[in-house]
Amino acid sequence: MTIVEVACDYCKKIFPRELRRINEAKKFGWKQYCSGNCHSLAKRAMVSLQCGNPNCNKIFFRSLHEISISKICFCSRSCAAVVNNQRSRKRKPKLKICPNCGSYFSGRRKYCSSICLPKTTIIPKEQIIQEIKKFYKGRGKIPFKREYFHWKAARFRFGTWNKAVLAAGFEPNPVKFAKKFTAKDGHRCDSLSEKIIDDWLFSKKIFHLKNAKYLNTLFTADFKVNDIFIEFFGLTGALKTYDKLMMKKLKIIKKNDLRLIKIFSKDLFPESKLNDILNELIKPEKTINKPSLNLFLHKS
């Protein structure tokens, strides 16, 4: 421990102090005092200063502990903003040319205003309602938001996607991860997506367990068929806590050399790909790939 003598910023008395403390005070522009009494007196001591704004030069008073050696003092925040804004380099907005009127504008939009927006890109309410009805007639179900190409236009016209579905005369789809569902075989599922997977297994007459435990741990898999675990990674990339939980599961699977089939939201919506993903359950002669931690990082 190196001790160095330094002068008190209030009484100017020379006193010993650790070198690391002196360097820390210089780094952050702190005052150094020989005692708590000098520190207390310095807080009450007022010093006259001149504003650092050359257009102001106003004389003002500040406590000694409020004055930083490494910084210029200003009488107000407005004077500080004037000087600091002149020092900082301002960003110039990236200008784009409107395809319709040719004027310059900035932002994410393609056109400078709604007046220049082509009429072909404006989807009326009547068209949205007819397309939702057509979707229901063709597939026998209400479209999810991601299944409808103009869902942003529907949200803009009606306020929300569910209001657009109501306007078409249907009851909105339930939230996929906020409601419990009962599968056809009686299993209780945490989401609509899990119910779709469970019903697929039931339709193929594949015996499966729900919420099967991983060996002697408290972690459970969504489904288990023989010695094969099936996980639905529905919230991958959406919640950090969910991602951490899934990583722990995958480490257990890798450590114990277990067999795993991974299913993501993109495998169910807008088109179901379960026939391709779970086809290995019907054809056991094919080998299932070992789980990989890197594949989990891929967002669905």
User: Dihedrals φ, ψ of 230, to 5°?
Assistant: -125, 125
pTM > 0.85: yes or no: no
Place 295 in a pLDDT band, splitting at 50, 70 and 90. Answer: very low
Decide: 145 and 151 in contact? Cβ < 8 Å.
Answer: yes
CA torsion 109-113-118-120 (nearest 10°) is: 70
Place 261 in a pLDDT band, splitting at 50, 70 and 90. Answer: very high
pLDDT at 260: 93
pLDDT at 98: 87
Higher pLDDT, 158 or 93: 158
Place 292 in a pLDDT band, splitting at 50, 70 and 90. Answer: very low
From 30, 44, 32, select the one nearest 6 (Cα to Cα): 32
E-assigned strands of 154-194?
A: 181-182, 188-189
CA–CA distance, 147 with 212 (Å, rounded to integer): 32
Per-residue pLDDT tens digits for 202-259: 999 999 999 989 988 889 999 999 999 999 987 777 667 888 888 999 999 999 999 9
With a cut of 60, say whether residue 120 has pLDDT above it.
Answer: no
Two tokens, residue 48: 């006259």
User: Dihedrals φ, ψ of 190, to 5°?
Assistant: -80, -15
From 41, 253, 207, 100, select the one nearest 198 (Cα to Cα): 207
pLDDT at 178: 52
DSSP-assigned beta bridge partners for residue 97: 104
* Three-state SS at 282: helix
Which H helix or E strand runs over 105?
Answer: strand 104-106
With a cut of 90, say whether residue 72 has pLDDT above it.
Answer: no
